[in-house]
Amino acid sequence: MMGGGSNHVSSSSNRRSERSCGRRTVRSNDECLPDKYGCGSRSVLKWSGMEANPGRPFYGCPTYNLQSVGKRWCGLFMWVDKVLDEEEVNDRDNRGFELEEWRMKLAWMIGSLESEIKVLKLAFCVLLVIVLVVIVIVVCVVWK
């Protein structure tokens, strides 16, 4: 998997290398690319020059494939599609957590409304009894 890569390096740093991974916050260090690696450099986007993966994009250390000029490689190598797949799974997990939290709140609200309905039914019954008692008293007073 650590095949050679072309020396074509993008001029800008990878936006997905930040700890926040775009619009979501990560819970562990290995859910996305960290901002910097062991060599202190930021990851850069490169494209594979190997026959097995021609033109396939990957994130790598800026010193990847430069050992011949005395640069030490820190070992950073990750296919872009693997990082994106992990982010999709993590986004799905986050949505699942948010959905479960929403379900719990909804269940609590339903329980609260059900208990309020029981109280209102009881109050209605009490009022009905009071009205009937008043009617009976009025009828008894009128018939005398």
Find which of 51-65, 81-95, 116-130 is predicted with most confidence, using mean pLDDT.
Answer: 116-130
The residue range of the domain holding 37 is 5-143
Tens of pLDDT, residue by residue over 123-143, are 999 999 999 999 999 999 998
Asked if the model's pLDDT at residue 43 lies above 50, the reply is: yes
More confident residue, 25 or 39: 39
C-alpha–C-alpha distance, residues 18 and 128, integer Å: 66
Write out 12-52 in H/E/C secondary structure: CCCHHHCCCCCCCCCCCCCCCCCCCCCCCCCCEEEEECCCC
Beta strands in the chain (DSSP E): 5-9, 44-48, 57-60, 77-79
> How many structural domains are present in the chain?
1
Asked if the model's pLDDT at residue 61 lies above 80, the reply is: no
Q: Which residue type does 82 have?
A: K
Tens of pLDDT, residue by residue over 65-84, are 666 555 666 667 677 777 66
Asked if the model's pLDDT at residue 10 lies above 70, the reply is: no
